Every structure is written in structure tokens, then in C-alpha cells.
């Protein structure tokens, strides 16, 4: 784009976990070009088409600027005061009459990409005190978090491949060429993979589809959906059988090796091959490569999480890392150390309370809580089923569960029955069209940014902060203020509570916690002094300054003069590099024993299911449906931007030609796909890049619901793949939905 560029701003992209630094040219209020910031210490100029689309998100006429309130059945623009007054008028009586559990909350994915939402969402949740908390975590990474929690004592202690120093990378069920990486923040994965191979390293990809990632690797193995646990257990079997178990430095810190050895003994490569479709020789070779590589890492993501054996498979990924001595060593799978908000660097180092699960159960199905939340697959039944504790009101924050969660049609119908639905969102979409009150968020270009979560999964340690690119409009609150205002309403302070006082309360309670913790760098300091030292800041910035200064690199409020503060970070618009990953065991551990629990009882018990599953139902028979992602897509919500829309049809049914021939399907014809939960009709795309017996539909489509306001997206709506996902099929331990490996029937459909 040409034109007079009056300034250049730097901003971390909030759209995906890669957290690219962007360079944004501004001409007055107009956004010029958006490029990768080559000086960014972490992303070094890497960018994808979605980052540039932030300019279109900023000006998208469908993006909400005013609250909407439903009147006579129709959502109409309202003032902020009117919208908050409506919350007070309608929400409080529901709580008063039916109790706190009558209100449910659903937190969507962008909460993790917006620290104002994540920090102040907590305040609202605490004030509501409801048991009915749901989030996108149970259609995503809960299995990995549970496995990490049980093994290392903290749900967020997730080891990531040290890609720049590894010699062998085994990837299961992840496609970073399209997704750019997840639970592994790794800008320019393609470039790093190339470098790995150039220095003589090797990468193997295990996926029922030959993805772009698989194409760029040394080897690709097709796997039957849902059988990664079989494959990994057989690898463990070989490691033991061939005397290849070598924990290296970790020897002193691991419990449960024998139990794992016993468990794997029965799952030979030959037995596993029958289930997963990977020949026994290949399994044996993989195990040997892993153990001979020197420095190796195993990594699994969506394909290993959102499936029948999600937690067991996620656990076995790290079992392989441990048994080959690759956990927590250079070039292996390592624990990043973040500058702020990382729970595994607070409290006593090396030991802790571990994690607890199942502290309560869902009312209808009895599904257990994990990390304080219930499986989102249970939400519809909790709304539908009468009785004490029935969900009557729902608050959604940055989420679109109608497109993202299983048995979408059932949930869609349930939302229509709610007495009250309140949403914080930037669009009226397939979910928020049901809301009675919608509070819009601001364009990302109006708000400051800090990634509280992703540096905890970074391929390298770094810390970065972005101030707002454009001055925010003065007549609209930021979302953290909206959340505080809702918190005030819920706690009975009226429709116009004192936001500043509430915010002071939030930060003061954090200060109290820190000065009362003997392991904190500000233990027993004066709360008033700390509070004054944060003077001049408010909202998320103030909480961030506190977290940075009490964090592992912090200045501890004057004690370490070289240490980090937010002011120092502001002086580094391209971020501060904190170096390559370093070994963190035992310090990172928070298990009661102070050891890595290699064989947590619940996981060992659940692994028995893996053995039992080498049965006919898992081998022949029906087709299995898996998902996929596309670079120009971001879950359900960016199909309304011209830069990302258009092009070849993306919402297609991928099927192998041999299956297509057998079923009478040809390229571009319509097929009907049916599961226990529902059916959809969509065009066929023949490809030999998918395993015979497997079909694929991407999620996040189905923009044809009446009442949504997505004028571009509805022109190319696609179908909602989660109509097919079965809300009754869960990974039993984590409560995560099974979104991959869904049994389906496929037939030609005449329109
Ligand atoms: N079948 C199948 N289903 C899946 C998956 C799959 O692989 N297959 N993947 C799952 C995964 S990994 C995830 S994370 C979930 C995602 O599930 P969700 O989080 O429910 O869905 P998103 O599409 O991310 O929706 C994000 C919503 O946030 C809104 N939004 C964007 N920015 C902001 C903001 O700044 N403030 C506010 N208030 N709102 C904002 C958007 O308009 C959109 O409505 O989907 C899951 N569903
Ligand atoms: N462009 C783009 N980027 C995104 C997103 C997006 O929607 N679009 N979403 C973001 C989010 S919220 C997340 S969580 C991440 C996800 O990041 P990834 O995990 O990399 O996501 P996917 O591209 O869905 O890759 C999952 C792969 O698992 C394979 N698979 C399916 N079932 C199985 C199985 O049983 N076993 C094995 N081994 N493989 C299987 C699928 O074929 C697919 O290739 O991506 C993030 N980045
Ligand atoms: S990969 Fe794309 S969407 Fe993800 S952070 Fe970078 S620019 Fe944004
Ligand atoms: Mo996700």
C-alpha cells in the first residue's frame, strides 16, 4: 500500500499461539501495511495472512461497536448504561431465585489471547461462584493439561520440543504448517524444520492425512484415528524389550518406571499394528530412531488430544520423552520459563500439592471436573434438564460453541431456551445470535497486549509487550472494564459500580497474596509500598507490572535493579530475549513427591482401555471422520474478512479415491455424512493424501444460521462439522470431546 506513513507501530498478533510481532504502518487513523516485525526478538519477522487481516478486522462493518439488547425478540443497539442496567434487571433475579449454579459461563479461545479478558474474567467467575464453568479447553487441550498435571504437578507444565537443537522430531496429530503450532509457540516452524533437516536431523509425522507438515518431513506414517496410544505404548514396549530405556540425568527424579514397563509389555508392535495400521517394523524402527537419535523430542497436539484416548496418548508422548532421556534436556522436550503469570515458577520450587480432579460432578451426566471446569459437551443437557441446579442463564465470553462443540444442533436448540444469555463478543455470530445482551470488545488495535499464556510454551524464552496501536475511543470501555462492571453488578453494587475501586481491590488481593507467600520475592514487604510503586497504572497493565516484577526475572520492587519491570519492557518495543530454554527439573516440579510421576494410577487404569480396544470396532467397519485446519482460517470467526475469504472451496469432505469409488462419489458431487448425532451435506474432494477409511471436514464453518450478522461469511457458509461430533463421546479422564475418529456413514446426496 502506498501513501504517507506517519508512524510505525509494533504489535504482537493476538490471533494464534505463534504470537508474531507485527510492524504496522499508520497514517492518521488509517491502517497501512501490516508486516512481520523483523526486529522482534522472538518471531524475527515471521507472519501469516491472518496477521495482515487485522487491518480488515479493525474496519469490518459487521464488527460490533455498540452493545445490543434484545427488544421484542430483536437485537437492537443500546447505550452501555442501558445494557448494564438490563443485566442487573434480568440476571440478579435468576440468581436470587434459582441459586448461583443457574448461571453458566462459557469461555472461548480468544480469552487466552487477550490478557484483559483472562485476568478480569477470573474476577467475574469468582463473583458468580457457579459450578457451571465451561470452556473451549474441553474441545481442545484438556487431555494434555491433565497428563501434565498428573506427571509434573501443574496443569500448565507442558514440555515443548527444543526444535533448534534437536536431531529427531516425532510429531503426532499436529499440522503446524497450517496451524502454526499449538501448546508450542514456535514462529516459523517451516524454517526451523528446514534447518533441522539441513543439519542432518530427521522429522517423522504421524497423521491420518498427509499434511503439508508431513510433506515437508522425512517420513509420514498414516495412522488410524484414535490409535496413537497404541502406537506409543508399542514404542514403549520396544524401548523396554530392547534395553533402550535410559533416563540420563532424570534417573533420580522419576517414579513408576516398572509400572510403565509392565503395562507396555502386553502391547507388542504386532498387536499395536493391528489397531493403528502402522506396520510393526515401522513401529520398531521409530522406537530405535527415537532412542538412537541423541537429542530427540516427541510432540502431539489436536489429533492426540481430541480423541477417545486423549489423556493416555498425551501422557505417553511424555513417557517416550522421559524413557529416552529427552525430557528437560537440550534438544529434547523442555519446560519454558515465562517472565510472568507462570504458576509453576511460584511457590516452593520442586514440590507442591499436585493436582486434584473430580472435586465435583456435572449434575446430569456425572462428568468430573478438571481444572475447575466441566466438559462443554455437557452444556446442552444442563440447560435442557429441569431440576435443582438447571442452567437458566449463560454468559459467553469470546466463544462460539455452536460451531465449536459437539452436537452443535442440540446446543443451538438449547441456547434458544435459555431465560437469559449475555455475551461478550465482537460479532453477532451463530452463538451470540441467541444472546439477549451483547457487549462488544474493542478492535485489537485499540488495546495493549501481553501474552500471559504462550511464553509458557515458547520454543525460546522471551518477554514482549505491545501498547495500543491506536488511541482507544473514549466513549467505550475496554473489555476488562466491562468484566469489572459485570462483577460489580453480580456482587450487588448496582448497575454503575465504582470500577476504579474494584480494580484496586483486584490488585490489592494479588499484592496480599504475594507478600504472604514465603517463596515470593516480595515476602513480608509493605502492601502500601508495593501498591504505591504501581502508581500511575491501572487495569491489566498494573497486574502485569506486579507479575513481571515478582516473576523470575523481576526487579522484586527495587531489590534487583537490573530486573524486569513493565517500564523496562515498554522501552523495548521488539521485546527482550531471555535466551534458549534451560533445564528446569527439579525446580519446575510441583508433585507431592517432588518427582516425575511416570505412572499415575488413573492413567495406568485408563490405559487398559487401549488394550481392550484392539477389537473389530476399531479396525474395520465404518469410516472415521477427522478435522483439519487451513492457514487462512482461525477456528470459526475470521471468515468475514476479505483477505481470508474466497479462493478454492475449503469446507469440503476429503475422501480417498478408493472409498469414493466404492461409495459412488465423484469430485465436487454432494455427499451426505451421517453420525449418531446428525448429518450434513457438502461437496466431495478426492485426495490420496487421506488414509483410506478416513474422511475429513474442517470445523468452524456453517455460517448459515438466521440472525447472525456476518455478511461476507454467509456467502460461503460451509457446513458445521460439529453437527456430527457426538456429545456423548468423551475422553473419560479429561472430559474432552472426541472430535477426531468419529464413526460416520457417507453416501451420495442429490440436492
Ligand atoms: N470438530 C472440531 N471442533 C473443534 C476443533 C476441532 O479441531 N475440530 N477445535 C477446537 C479448538 S482447538 C478450539 S480452541 C475451539 C474454539 O472454540 P471457541 O472459542 O468457542 O470458538 P472460536 O471460533 O475461537 O470463537 C471465538 C469467538 O470470540 C470472538 N472474539 C474474537 N476476538 C474477541 C475479543 O477480543 N473479545 C471478545 N469478547 N470476543 C472476541 C469471535 O467473534 C468468536 O465468536 O474449537 C474447537 N472445536
Ligand atoms: N490457520 C489456523 N491456525 C490455527 C487454528 C485455526 O483454526 N486455523 N486454530 C488454532 C487452535 S485453537 C489450535 S488448538 C491449534 C491446533 O493446532 P494443530 O494441532 O496443529 O491443529 P490441526 O491442524 O487441526 O492438526 C491436527 C492434525 O491431527 C490429525 N489427526 C486427526 N485425528 C488424529 C489421530 O487420531 N491421530 C493423529 N496422530 N492425528 C490425527 C489431523 O489430520 C490434523 O492434521 O491451531 C491453532 N492455529
Ligand atoms: S501465525 Fe499468523 S495468526 Fe498466528 S500470530 Fe503469526 S501472524 Fe498472527
Ligand atoms: Mo484450540
Q: Does any ligand 1 atom lie closer than 6 A to the CB of residue 440?
A: no
Quote the CA–CA distance of 120 and 140 in Å, as a whole number: 22
**pLDDT digits 0-9 by tens, 478-493:** 999 999 999 999 999 9
- The residue to mutate among 12, 15, 55, 643, having the most atoms of ligand 3 within 8 angstroms of its beta carbon, is 15
Q: Does any ligand 1 atom lie closer than 6 A to the CB of residue 168?
A: no
Question: Are residues 202 and 188 in contact, defined by beta-carbon separation less than 8 angstroms?
Answer: no
pLDDT (0 to 100) of residue 611: 83
Q: Which atom of ligand 1 is nearest to the CA of 635?
A: 23
Q: Which ligand is nearest to the CA of 633?
A: 2
Strand 694-696 vs strand 653-655: parallel, antiparallel, or unpaired?
Answer: antiparallel
Q: Which helix (H) or strand (E) holds 30?
A: strand 30-36
**Ligand 2 center to 564 CA (angstroms):** 35
**Ligand 3 center to 116 CA (angstroms):** 20
Read off the DSSP letter of residue 281.
Answer: H
Quote the CA–CA distance of 615 and 604 in Å, as a whole number: 20
* In this structure, CATH architecture of domain 142-347+593-610: 3-Layer(aba) Sandwich (3.40)
Q: Which three cell numbers stand for residue 92?
A: 440478579
CA torsion sign for 730, 735, 737, 741 is negative
Please tell me the residue having the least CA distance from ligand 1 atom 23: 636
3-state secondary structure of 393: strand
Question: Cα dist. 276→225, 230, 613 in Å?
Answer: 8, 7, 11
Q: Which atom of ligand 2 is nearest to the CA of 700?
A: 7
Residues in the chain, total: 751
Give Cβ neighbours of residue 605 (< 8 Å, ≥ 6 apart).
none
Please tell me the residue having the least CA distance from ligand 1 atom 28: 398
Question: Are residues 503 and 538 in contact, defined by beta-carbon separation less than 8 angstroms?
Answer: yes
**Ligand 3 center to 634 CA (angstroms):** 10
Q: Does any ligand 2 atom lie closer than 6 A to the CB of residue 740?
A: yes
Please tell me the residue having the least CA distance from ligand 2 atom 46: 179
Q: Which helix (H) or strand (E) holds 507?
A: helix 499-515
Q: Which ligand is nearest to the CA of 724?
A: 1
Question: Are residues 341 and 452 in contact, defined by beta-carbon separation less than 8 angstroms?
Answer: yes
pLDDT (0 to 100) of residue 621: 60
For 398-437, the DSSP string reads: S--HHHHSSSHHHHHHHHHT-SEEEEEESS--TTGGG-SE
Enter the pTM of the model.
0.98
Please tell me the residue having the least CA distance from ligand 2 atom 31: 303
**Ligand 3 center to 36 CA (angstroms):** 9
Peptide bond into 586 cis (omega under 30): yes
Question: Are residues 151 and 596 in contact, defined by beta-carbon separation less than 8 angstroms?
Answer: yes
Question: Are residues 455 and 575 in contact, defined by beta-carbon separation less than 8 angstroms?
Answer: no
pLDDT (0 to 100) of residue 649: 92
**pLDDT digits 0-9 by tens, 300-346:** 999 999 999 999 999 999 999 999 999 999 999 999 999 999 999 99
**Ligand 3 center to 17 CA (angstroms):** 7
Query: Does the pLDDT of residue 8 top 60, yes or no?
Result: yes
Average pLDDT over residues 699-718: 97
Q: Which atom of ligand 2 is nearest to the CA of 206?
A: 38
Question: Are residues 228 and 172 in contact, defined by beta-carbon separation less than 8 angstroms?
Answer: yes
User: Hey, how many other C-beta atoms are within 10 angstroms of the C-beta on 667?
Assistant: 13
Q: Which atom of ligand 2 is nearest to the CA of 172?
A: 38
Place of cell 452501555: 80
Band of residue 132 on the pLDDT scale cut at 50, 70, 90: very high
**pLDDT digits 0-9 by tens, 35-90:** 999 999 999 999 999 999 999 999 999 999 999 999 999 999 999 999 999 999 99
pLDDT (0 to 100) of residue 472: 94
3-state secondary structure of 584: coil
Q: Does any ligand 2 atom lie closer than 6 A to the CB of residue 302?
A: yes
**Ligand 4 center to 448 CA (angstroms):** 22
Q: Which ligand is nearest to the CA of 301?
A: 2
Band of residue 622 on the pLDDT scale cut at 50, 70, 90: confident
Question: Are residues 47 and 35 in contact, defined by beta-carbon separation less than 8 angstroms?
Answer: yes
Question: Are residues 333 and 297 in contact, defined by beta-carbon separation less than 8 angstroms?
Answer: yes
Average pLDDT over residues 465-482: 96
- The residue to mutate among 47, 181, 635, having the most atoms of ligand 3 within 8 angstroms of its beta carbon, is 47
Residues in a beta bridge with 220: 205
Query: Does the pLDDT of residue 287 top 90, yes or no?
Result: yes
Please tell me the residue having the least CA distance from ligand 1 atom 34: 441
Query: Does the pLDDT of residue 5 top 80, yes or no?
Result: no
**Ligand 1 center to 549 CA (angstroms):** 32
Q: Which three cell numbers stand for residue 409?
A: 444442533
- The residue to mutate among 179, 221, 647, 656, having the most atoms of ligand 2 within 8 angstroms of its beta carbon, is 179
Query: Does the pLDDT of residue 616 top 80, yes or no?
Result: no
Single out the residue of 601, 128, 159 nearest to residue 337, CA to CA.
159
Core vs surface per residue 687-725: b (16+ CB within 10 A) or e: bebbbebbbbbbbbbbbbbeebbbebbbebbbbbbbbbb
Single out the residue of 463, 425, 430, 457 nearest to residue 441, CA to CA.
425
Q: Does any ligand 1 atom lie closer than 6 A to the CB of residue 741?
A: no
**Ligand 2 center to 432 CA (angstroms):** 25
**pLDDT digits 0-9 by tens, 457-468:** 999 999 999 999
**Ligand 4 center to 440 CA (angstroms):** 22
Please tell me the residue having the least CA distance from ligand 3 atom 4: 16
Query: Does the pLDDT of residue 418 top 60, yes or no?
Result: yes
Quote the CA–CA distance of 236 and 478 in Å, as a whole number: 50
- What CATH code would you report for 618-751? 2.40.40.20
CA Rg value for the chain: 25
Domain boundaries, the chain: 1-59, 142-347+593-610, 618-751
- What CATH code would you report for 1-59? 2.20.25.90
Question: Are residues 430 and 101 in contact, defined by beta-carbon separation less than 8 angstroms?
Answer: no
Average pLDDT over all residues of the chain? 97
**pLDDT digits 0-9 by tens, 170-183:** 999 999 999 999 99
Q: Does any ligand 2 atom lie closer than 6 A to the CB of residue 135?
A: no
Quote the CA–CA distance of 284 and 219 in Å, as a whole number: 15
Question: Are residues 120 and 509 in contact, defined by beta-carbon separation less than 8 angstroms?
Answer: no
**Ligand 4 center to 112 CA (angstroms):** 10
**pLDDT digits 0-9 by tens, 568-612:** 999 999 999 999 999 999 999 999 999 999 999 999 999 989 988
3-state secondary structure of 707: coil
Please tell me the residue having the least CA distance from ligand 3 atom 1: 48
**Ligand 3 center to 468 CA (angstroms):** 18
Burial of 543 (0-12, 13-18, 19+ CB in 10 A): buried
Single out the residue of 554, 512, 20, 575 nearest to residue 340, CA to CA.
554
pLDDT (0 to 100) of residue 620: 47
Average pLDDT over residues 616-621: 48
Torsion of CA 502, 504, 510, 515, to 10 degrees: -140
Single out the residue of 152, 143, 146, 149 nearest to residue 596, CA to CA.
152
Question: Are residues 267 and 274 in contact, defined by beta-carbon separation less than 8 angstroms?
Answer: no
Instruction: Name which of 212-226, 498-512, 620-634, 679-693 the model is least confident about.
Output: 620-634
Quote the CA–CA distance of 631 and 184 in Å, as a whole number: 17
**Ligand 1 center to 138 CA (angstroms):** 12
Ligand 3: residues whose CB is within 6 Å?
A: 13, 15-16, 18-20, 47-48, 50-51, 180
Q: Which ligand is nearest to the CA of 698?
A: 1
Average pLDDT over residues 206-230: 98
Quote the CA–CA distance of 447 and 467 in Å, as a whole number: 7
pLDDT (0 to 100) of residue 3: 53
Strand 460-463 vs strand 576-580: parallel, antiparallel, or unpaired?
Answer: antiparallel
Question: Are residues 37 and 466 in contact, defined by beta-carbon separation less than 8 angstroms?
Answer: no
Burial of 683 (0-12, 13-18, 19+ CB in 10 A): middle
Single out the residue of 518, 519, 446, 514 nearest to residue 476, CA to CA.
446
Question: Are residues 169 and 201 in contact, defined by beta-carbon separation less than 8 angstroms?
Answer: yes
Q: Among the residues of 153-243, which ranges form H helices?
A: 176-179, 189-198, 212-216, 228-241
Please tell me the residue having the least CA distance from ligand 1 atom 26: 399
Residues in a beta bridge with 742: 625
Query: Does the pLDDT of residue 619 top 70, yes or no?
Result: no
> If phi over 0 gives left and psi between -120 and 50 gives alpha, with beta otherwise, what is residue 718?
left
Q: Which atom of ligand 1 is nearest to the CA of 140?
A: 12
pLDDT (0 to 100) of residue 1: 43
Dmax (CA) for the chain in angstroms is: 76
Read off the DSSP letter of residue 736.
Answer: -
Amino acid at each position: 500500500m502506498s501513501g504517507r506513513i506517519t508512524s510505525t507501530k509494533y504489535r504482537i498478533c493476538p490471533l494464534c499461539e505463534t504470537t508474531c510481532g507485527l510492524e504496522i504502518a499508520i497514517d492518521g487513523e488509517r491502517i497501512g501495511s501490516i508486516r512481520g516485525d523483523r526486529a522482534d526478538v522472538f518471531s524475527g519477522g515471521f507472519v501469516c495472512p491472518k496477521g495482515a487481516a487485522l487491518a480488515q478486522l479493525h474496519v469490518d462493518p459487521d464488527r460490533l461497536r455498540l452493545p445490543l439488547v434484545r427488544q421484542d425478540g430483536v437485537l437492537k443497539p443500546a447505550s452501555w448504561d442501558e445494557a448494564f442496567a438490563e443485566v442487573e434487571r434480568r440476571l440478579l433475579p435468576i440468581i436470587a431465585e434459582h441459586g448461583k449454579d443457574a448461571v453458566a459461563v462459557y469461555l472461548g479461545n480468544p480469552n487466552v489471547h487477550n490478557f484483559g479478558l483472562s485476568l478480569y474474567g477470573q474476577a467475574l467467575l469468582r463473583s458468580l461462584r457457579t459450578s457451571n464453568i465451561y470452556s473451549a479447553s474441553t474441545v481442545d487441550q484438556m487431555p494434555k493439561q491433565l497428563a501434565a498435571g498428573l506427571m509434573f504437578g501443574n496443569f500448565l507444565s507442558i514440555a515443548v520440543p527444543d526444535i533448534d537443537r534437536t536431531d529427531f522430531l516425532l510429531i503426532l496429530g499436529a499440522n503446524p504448517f497450517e496451524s502454526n503450532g499449538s501448546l508450542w509457540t514456535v514462529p516459523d516452524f517451516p524454517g526451523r524444520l528446514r534447518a533441522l533437516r539441513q543439519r542432518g536431523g530427521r522429522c517423522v509425522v504421524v497423521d491420518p492425512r498427509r499434511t503439508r507438515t508431513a510433506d515437508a518431513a522425512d517420513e509420514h506414517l498414516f495412522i488410524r484415528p484414535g490409535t496413537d496410544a497404541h502406537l506409543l505404548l508399542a514404542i514403549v514396549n520396544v524401548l523396554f524389550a530392547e534395553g533402550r530405556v535410559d533416563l540420563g540425568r532424570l534417573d533420580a527424579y522419576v517414579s513408576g518406571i516398572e509400572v510403565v514397563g509392565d503395562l507396555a509389555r502386553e502391547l507388542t508392535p504386532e498387536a499395536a499394528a493391528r489397531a493403528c495400521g502402522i506396520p510393526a517394523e515401522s513401529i520398531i524402527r521409530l522406537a530405535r530412531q527415537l532412542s538412537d537419535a541423541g537429542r530427540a523430542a516427541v510432540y502431539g497436539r489436536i489429533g492426540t488430544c481430541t480423541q477417545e484416548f486423549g489423556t493416555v496418548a498425551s501422557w505417553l508422548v511424555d513417557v517416550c520423552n522421559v524413557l529416552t532421556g529427552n525430557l528437560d534436556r537440550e534438544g529434547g522436550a523442555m519446560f519454558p520459563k515465562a517472565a510472568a503469570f507462570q504458576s509453576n515458577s511460584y511457590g516452593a520450587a520442586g514440590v507442591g500439592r499436585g493436582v486434584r480432579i473430580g472435586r465435583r460432578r456435572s449434575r446430569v451426566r456425572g462428568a468430573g471436573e478438571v481444572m475447575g471446569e466441566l466438559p462443554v459437551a455437557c452444556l446442552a443437557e444442563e440447560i435442557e434438564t429441569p431440576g435443582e441446579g438447571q442452567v437458566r442463564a449463560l454468559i459467553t465470553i469470546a466463544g462460539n460453541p455452536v460451531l465449536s462443540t459437539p452436537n452443535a444442533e442440540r446446543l443451538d436448540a438449547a441456547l434458544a431456551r435459555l431465560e437469559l444469555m449475555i455475551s461478550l463478543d465482537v460479532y453477532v455470530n451463530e452463538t451470540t445470535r441467541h444472546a439477549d445482551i451483547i457487549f462488544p470488545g474493542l478492535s485489537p488495535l485499540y488495546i495493549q497486549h501481553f501474552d500471559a499464556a504462550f511464553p509458557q510454551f515458547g520454543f525460546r524464552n522471551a518477554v514482549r509487550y505491545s501498547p495500543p496501536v491506536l488511541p482507544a475511543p473514549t466513549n467505550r470501555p475496554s473489555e476488562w472494564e466491562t468484566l469489572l462492571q459485570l462483577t460489580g453488578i453480580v456482587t450487588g453494587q448496582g448497575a454503575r459500580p465504582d470500577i476504579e475501586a474494584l480494580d484496586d481491590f483486584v490488585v490489592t488481593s494479588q499484592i496480599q497474596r504475594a507478600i504472604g507467600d514465603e517463596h515470593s520475592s516480595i515476602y513480608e514487604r509493605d502492601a502500601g509500598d508495593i501498591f504505591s510503586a504501581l502508581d500511575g497504572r491501572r487495569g491489566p497493565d498494573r497486574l502485569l507490572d506486579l507479575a513481571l516484577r515478582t516473576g523470575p526475572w523481576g526487579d522484586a520492587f527495587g531489590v534487583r535493579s537490573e530486573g524486569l519491570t513493565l517500564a523496562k519492557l515498554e522501552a523495548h518495543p521488539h521485546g527482550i530475549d531471555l535466551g534458549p530454554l534451560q533445564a528446569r527439573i527439579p525446580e519446575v516440579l510441583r508433585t507431592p513427591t517432588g518427582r516425575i510421576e511416570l505412572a499415575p494410577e488413573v492413567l495406568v487404569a485408563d490405559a487398559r482401555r487401549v488394550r481392550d480396544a484392539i477389537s473389530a470396532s476399531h479396525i474395520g467397519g465404518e469410516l472415521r471422520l477427522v478435522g483439519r485446519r487451513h492457514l487462512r482460517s482461525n477456528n470459526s470467526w475470521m471468515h468475514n474478512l476479505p483477505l481470508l475469504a474466497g479462493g478454492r472451496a475449503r469446507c469440503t469432505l476429503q475422501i480417498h479415491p478408493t472409498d469414493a469409488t466404492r461409495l459412488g462419489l465423484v469430485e465436487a458431487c454432494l455427499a451426505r455424512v451421517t453420525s449418531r448425532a446428525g448429518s450434513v451435506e457438502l461437496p466431495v474432494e478426492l485426495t490420496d493424501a487421506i488414509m483410506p477409511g478416513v474422511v475429513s471436514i474442517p470445523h468452524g464453518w456453517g455460517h448459515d444460521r438466521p440472525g447472525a450478522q456476518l455478511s461476507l461469511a454467509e456467502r460461503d457458509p460451509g457446513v458445521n462439522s460439529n453437527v456430527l461430533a457426538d456429545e456423548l463421546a468423551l475422553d473419560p479422564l479429561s472430559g474432552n470431546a472426541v472430535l477426531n475418529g468419529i464413526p460416520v456413514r457417507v453416501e451420495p446426496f442429490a440436492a
